[in-house]
């Protein structure tokens, strides 16, 4: 079949497509445009590329085929279905910044920049890189989301731990929940990480816990301070045998326990701040009491880069700022 234009199809695609064979090169791709004139210009360009032999290169591979190869190689296909439907057989070499931006808006018109980044920009970048195309893709403004850094004072945290004994729950549940919260607060683990821990992954003698199969594909060793080690020695059910360390699941029941505990403790958290407040508290306390700087926080292996850990820099006064004590007329601090 010679190379020709295919008009938009209701319920399928709003764009003109180009399909057929020219000089032995098969083409089946969307023009990415609703305008026939634009599609005609693209068809002419494709013919010219076929005559020059450009269409036989790796950049001529369609997005659907590239995405399939990416998933076959072990890539995450969670968000690829809408992207494959959108780009179809468009050559990956033709997918530029404008097309990616348009796809993000078309597929997720009401989504936040962070959601579009996660579900459009990141998977497209992964597919292109797997296909051998290195291209700088600009992320949407605000793609990092709103950085929440609310943290608890020592007095608030202690009130919360004590309040677990007064919530409406079985005795063992109260004890386990207190231990769970203190583990979050004194190790910096995220909400779901202690829930995935197996009893065998906890070594009280070495004061460590091993988090398996992290996002970067490796295990992470977490230090357990004495307060957590002593808690775990008293964990209902003990640490012997198989199974998970905690019987909780990351769902509504766990969040209900936190709501009851906060109410009993008289602590009010900002909207969208829940269990992650304990991770922020750990980082803040490590700055304030542990005297760690931004790079020290990264070395704890909790963050992968200084930019992520630098959000806690505001909780301590830097040594440079304290030099204001030396300014003319300023009262010098004792010592």
pTM score: 0.57
Instruction: Write down the pLDDT at residue 55.
Output: 54
Instruction: Write down the pLDDT at residue 84.
Output: 92
Min mean pLDDT across 95-99, 167-171, 229-233 is at 95-99
How far apart (Å, rounded) are the C-alpha atoms in residues 62 and 87?
Answer: 8
Tokens linked to 48: 């010219």
Give 50 or 314, the one with higher predicted confidence: 50
Task: Please give the average per-residue pLDDT across 77-100, as a whole number.
Answer: 88
Tokens linked to 63: 């997005």
Tokens linked to 22: 């020219």
How far apart (Å, rounded) are the C-alpha atoms in residues 39 and 27?
Answer: 13
- pLDDT over 50 (residue 38): yes
Instruction: Write down the pLDDT at residue 301.
Output: 64
Min mean pLDDT across 73-87, 103-117, 246-260, 289-303 is at 289-303
Give 319 or 73, the one with higher predicted confidence: 73
Residue 261: burial class (beta carbons within 10 Å; 0-12, 13-18, 19+) = buried
- pLDDT over 50 (residue 128): yes
Instruction: Write down the pLDDT at residue 329.
Output: 66
- pLDDT over 90 (residue 294): no
For 38, 40, 57, the CA distances from 44, given in Å and listed in that order, are: 10, 6, 18
- pLDDT over 50 (residue 335): no
CA angle 130, 136, 138 (to 5 degrees): 120
The domain spans of the chain are 4-130, 154-319
Give 157 or 53, the one with higher predicted confidence: 157
Residues contacting 127, CB < 8 A, separation 6+: 63, 66, 67, 70, 75, 80, 92
Positive/negative CA dihedral, 187, 191, 195, 197? negative
Which of 42-46, 51-55, 229-233, 294-298 has maximum average pLDDT?
229-233
Smallest Cα–Cα separation from 38: which of 80, 82, 98, 85? 98
Smallest Cα–Cα separation from 236: which of 194, 177, 158? 177
- What Rg value do the Cα atoms of the chain yield, rounded? 28
- Please give the mean pLDDT across all residues of the chain: 83
The separation between CA 6 and the C-alpha centre of its own chain, rounded to angstroms, equals 40
Task: Please give the average per-residue pLDDT across 285-310, as a whole number.
Answer: 68
Instruction: Write down the pLDDT at residue 89.
Output: 79
**CATH of range 154-319; options 3.30.390.50, 1.10.287.3610, 1.10.10.10, 1.10.443.10:** 1.10.443.10
Task: Convert the pLDDT of each residue in 306-318 to its tens digit.
Answer: 555 555 555 555 5
How far apart (Å, rounded) are the C-alpha atoms in residues 178 and 261?
Answer: 10
């Amino acid at each position: 079949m010679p190379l020709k234009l295919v008009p938009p199809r209701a319920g399928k695609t709003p764009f003109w497509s180009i399909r057929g064979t020219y000089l032995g090169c098969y083409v089946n791709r969307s023009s990415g445009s609703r305008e026939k004139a634009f599609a005609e210009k693209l068809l002419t360009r494709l013919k010219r590329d076929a005559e020059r032999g450009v269409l036989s290169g790796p950049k001529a591979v369609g997005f659907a085929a590239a995405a399939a190869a990416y998933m076959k190689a072990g890539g995450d296909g969670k968000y690829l279905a809408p992207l494959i439907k959108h780009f179809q057989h468009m050559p990956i070499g033709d997918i530029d910044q404008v097309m990616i931006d348009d796809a993000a808006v078309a597929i997720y018109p009401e989504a936040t920049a962070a959601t579009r980044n996660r579900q459009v920009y990141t998977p497209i970048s992964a597919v292109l890189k797997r296909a051998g195309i290195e291209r700088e893709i600009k992320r949407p403004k605000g793609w990092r989301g709103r950085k929440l850094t609310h943290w608890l004072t020592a007095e608030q945290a202690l009130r919360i731990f004590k309040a677990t004994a007064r919530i409406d729950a079985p005795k063992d549940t109260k004890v386990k929940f207190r231990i769970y919260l203190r583990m979050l607060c004194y190790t910096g683990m995220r909400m779901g990480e202690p829930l995935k821990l197996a009893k065998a992954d906890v070594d009280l003698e070495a004061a460590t816990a091993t988090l398996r199969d992290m996002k970067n594909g490796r295990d992470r060793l977490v230090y357990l301070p004495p307060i957590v080690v002593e808690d775990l020695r008293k964990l209902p059910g003990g640490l012997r045998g198989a199974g998970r360390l905690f019987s909780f699941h990351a769902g509504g029941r766990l969040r209900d326990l936190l709501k009851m505990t906060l109410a009993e403790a008289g602590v009010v958290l900002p909207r969208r701040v829940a269990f992650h407040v304990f991770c922020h508290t750990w980082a803040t306390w490590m700055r304030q009491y542990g005297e760690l700087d931004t790079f020290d926080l990264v070395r704890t292996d909790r963050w992968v880069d200084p930019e992520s850990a630098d959000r806690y820099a505001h909780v301590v006064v830097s040594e440079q700022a304290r030099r204001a004590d030396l300014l003319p007329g300023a009262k010098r601090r004792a010592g």
